[in-house]
């Protein structure tokens, strides 16, 4: 009996010691959230006078205007009715803005967790015409010191608009060390395209760059984020109605809508859905490549896909893939691959292919012979860090770290830069 009691006491002692060592505290630097209340978020959309570009992101063209996202802050409106002299006309403050799309006179934009509708029928009187609250994922900005752990987030406090580094004692669980409780991921570095209109100014749906994750088809707005696709019925433009969501089984980076189909760029390849029933996108197939971040654009039955390294996708390849598609975009045949420096966004207009090759600048190719694209370079604009492009009837709109660039390619033997609005840094 004494032996049994001794054993029980020993086990109790071990349990007590274990319980004392399950958790311990450590003092460390971490990113603590800085909040904006929901009420302030929903009263912070304001049109202002033009302001300098500082951190430009995605671009969208509609009706003689190029809209440039100032990441997490709003939208620049650039009048390009005279392409040789682009004019920065106005700025719309929209906290949490990353993606945009336009149909007719309604501009759709994310504002952290909300979807905002902006009336752009009169560019001199831009104003909010609708808002759908709490329909988008809770989005976090990237911290300047991204390698530090992140503090706890209380969503009841509002949305996170920034981070501040603080010194704090944290209670840690030994089995999870060194991962901190409620550690969150910062957003990806991914910076769709609707059916584009013809002419430099017409059509009901605008045209986005290849990096976008908003797209419009028929009476639906599609927004992609990570592994999810959200559907909004925009039959009443000012009052979008959320019409469900779909899990896409892959981390979605970009969306391109073409010929009644939706093409997603993802780390492992390109995924295709058809839009025969716009409210129920139907899976068609997947073209797979090695892991790498990639946007995609489509023309006729050819997909042009850029793969790049140095991102959260952790790929090591920098190249252009040219993929032939058949049987209603369900079969894929890699025709050729071309080595690039660090390609980002791209665009195609007839046989002219534009590639933003990162620090290597803008490259323009004649893509008529798909087996000899690299041998048919038409122009190269080095010494600029490029991000994304939109080609429209002889004019190319490009965004990069240096700002907005406008090129005239109506004469493919004499492609030239005709306009520039620079980024301004302090």
Q: What is the pLDDT of residue 315?
A: 58
- Range with lowest mean pLDDT among 23-37, 241-255, 287-301, 337-351: 287-301
- Range with lowest mean pLDDT among 74-83, 173-182, 244-253, 286-295: 173-182
CA–CA dist 32, 150 (Å, integer): 6
| Gyration radius of the chain's alpha carbons | 24
Give the rounded distance of the alpha carbon of 100 from its chain centre. Answer: 10
Inter-residue contact 31 to 148 (CB < 8 Å): yes
The number of beta carbons lying within 10 Å of the beta carbon of residue 355 is 28
pLDDT band at 89 (very low <50, low <70, confident <90, very high): very high
Query: Which residue did the predictor score with more confidence, 223 or 318?
Result: 223
CA–CA dist 227, 373 (Å, integer): 33
Q: What is the pLDDT of residue 177?
A: 35
Average pLDDT over residues 189-201: 36
Average pLDDT over residues 264-288: 93
Q: Quick check: 18 pLDDT over 70? A: no
- Range with lowest mean pLDDT among 163-172, 199-208, 386-395: 199-208
Query: Which residue did the predictor score with more confidence, 4 or 232?
Result: 232
Taken in order of first residue, the domains within the chain and their CATH numbers are: 38-138+187-422 (2.130.10.10)
Average pLDDT over residues 334-358: 94
pLDDT tens-digit readout, 290-308: 555 678 999 999 999 998 8
Q: Quick check: 208 pLDDT over 90? A: yes
Q: What is the pLDDT of residue 311?
A: 52
Q: What is the pLDDT of residue 252?
A: 87
Q: Quick check: 189 pLDDT over 70? A: no
The number of beta carbons lying within 10 Å of the beta carbon of residue 348 is 21
Q: What is the pLDDT of residue 50?
A: 96
Query: Which residue did the predictor score with more confidence, 287 or 17?
Result: 287
Q: In sequence order, what are the residues at sequence separation of 6 or more whose Cβ sits closer than 8 angstroms to the Cβ of residue 236?
A: none
pLDDT band at 77 (very low <50, low <70, confident <90, very high): very high
Average pLDDT over residues 357-365: 94
pLDDT tens-digit readout, 401-410: 999 999 999 9
pLDDT band at 225 (very low <50, low <70, confident <90, very high): confident
Q: What is the 3-state secondary structure (H, E, C) of the chain?
A: CHHHHHHHHHHHHHHHHHHHHCEEEEEEEEEEEEEECHHHHCCCCEEECCCCECCEEEEEEECCEEEEEECCCEEEEEECCCCCCCEEEEEEECCCCCCEEEECCEEEEEECCEEEEEECCCCCCCEEEEEECCCCCCCCCCCCCCCCCECCCCHHHCEEEEEEEEEEEEEEEHHHCCCCCCCCCCCCCCCCCCCCCCCCCCCCECEECCCCCEEEECCEEEEEEEEEEEEEECCCCCCCEEEEEEEEEEEECEEEEECCEEEEEECCEEEEEECCCCCCCEEEEEEECCCCECCEEEECCEEEEEEECCCCCCCCCCEEEEEEEECCCCEEEEEEEEECCCCCCEEEECCEEEEECHHHCEEEEECCCCCCCCCCEEEEECCCCEEEEEEECCEEEEEECCEEEEEECCCCCCCEEEEEEEECCC
178 upstream amide cis, omega within 30 of 0: yes
Inter-residue contact 263 to 287 (CB < 8 Å): no
Query: Which residue did the predictor score with more confidence, 160 or 268?
Result: 160
Inter-residue contact 367 to 348 (CB < 8 Å): yes
Q: Quick check: 380 pLDDT over 50? A: yes
The number of beta carbons lying within 10 Å of the beta carbon of residue 62 is 26
Give the rounded distance of the alpha carbon of 330 from its chain centre. Answer: 25
Q: Quick check: 285 pLDDT over 80? A: yes
CA–CA dist 132, 110 (Å, integer): 10
pLDDT tens-digit readout, 226-275: 889 999 999 999 999 999 999 987 788 899 999 999 999 988 789 999 99
Inter-residue contact 343 to 356 (CB < 8 Å): yes
Q: What is the pLDDT of residue 169?
A: 78
Q: Quick check: 217 pLDDT over 90? A: yes
Quote the mean pLDDT of the chain. 86
């Amino acid at each position: 009996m004494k032996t049994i009691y001794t054993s029980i006491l020993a086990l109790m002692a071990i349990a007590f010691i274990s319980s004392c060592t399950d958790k311990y505290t450590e003092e460390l630097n971490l990113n603590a959230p800085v909040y904006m209340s929901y009420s302030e978020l929903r009263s912070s959309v304001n049109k202002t006078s033009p302001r300098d570009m500082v951190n430009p992101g995605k671009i969208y063209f509609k009706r003689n205007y190029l809209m440039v996202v100032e990441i997490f802050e709003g939208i620049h409106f650039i009048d390009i009715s005279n392409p040789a002299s682009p004019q920065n006309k106005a700025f719309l403050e929209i906290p949490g803005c990353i993606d945009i799309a336009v149909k007719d006179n309604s501009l759709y934009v994310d504002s952290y967790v909300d979807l905002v509708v902006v009336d752009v029928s009169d560019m001199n009187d831009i104003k909010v015409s609708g808002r759908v609250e709490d329909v988008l994922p809770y989005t976090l900005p990237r911290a300047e010191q991204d390698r530090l752990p992140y503090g706890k987030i209380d969503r009841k406090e509002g949305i996170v608009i920034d981070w501040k580094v603080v010194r704090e004692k944290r209670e840690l669980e030994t089995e999870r060390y060194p991962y901190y409780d409620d550690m969150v991921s910062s957003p990806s570095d991914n910076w769709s395209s609707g059916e584009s209109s013809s002419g430099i100014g017409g059509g009901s749906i605008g045209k986005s760059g290849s990096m976008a994750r908003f797209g419009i088809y028929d009476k639906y707005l599609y927004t992609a984020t990570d592994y999810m696709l959200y559907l909004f019925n925009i039959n009443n433009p000012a009052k979008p109605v959320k019409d469900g969501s779909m899990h896409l089984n892959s981390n979605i980076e970009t969306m391109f809508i073409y010929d009644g189909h939706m093409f997603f760029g993802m780390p492992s390849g390109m995924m295709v859905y058809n839009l025969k029933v716009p409210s129920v996108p139907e899976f068609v197939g997947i073209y797979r490549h090695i892991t790498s971040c990639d946007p995609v654009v489509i023309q006729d039955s050819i997909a042009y896909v850029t793969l790049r390294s140095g991102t959260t996708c952790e790929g090591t390849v920098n190249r252009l893939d040219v993929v032939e598609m058949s049987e209603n975009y369900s079969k894929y045949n890699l025709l050729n691959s071309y080595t690039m420096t660090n390609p980002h966004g791209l665009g195609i207009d007839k046989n002219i292919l534009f590639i933003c090759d990162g620090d290597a600048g803008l490259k323009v190719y004649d893509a008529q012979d798909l087996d000899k694209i690299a041998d048919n370079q038409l122009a190269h604009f080095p010494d600029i860090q490029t991000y994304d492009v939109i080609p429209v009837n002889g004019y190319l709109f490009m965004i990069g770290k240096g700002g907005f660039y406008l090129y005239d390619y109506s004469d493919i033997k004499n492609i030239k830069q005709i306009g520039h609005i620079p980024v301004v840094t302090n």
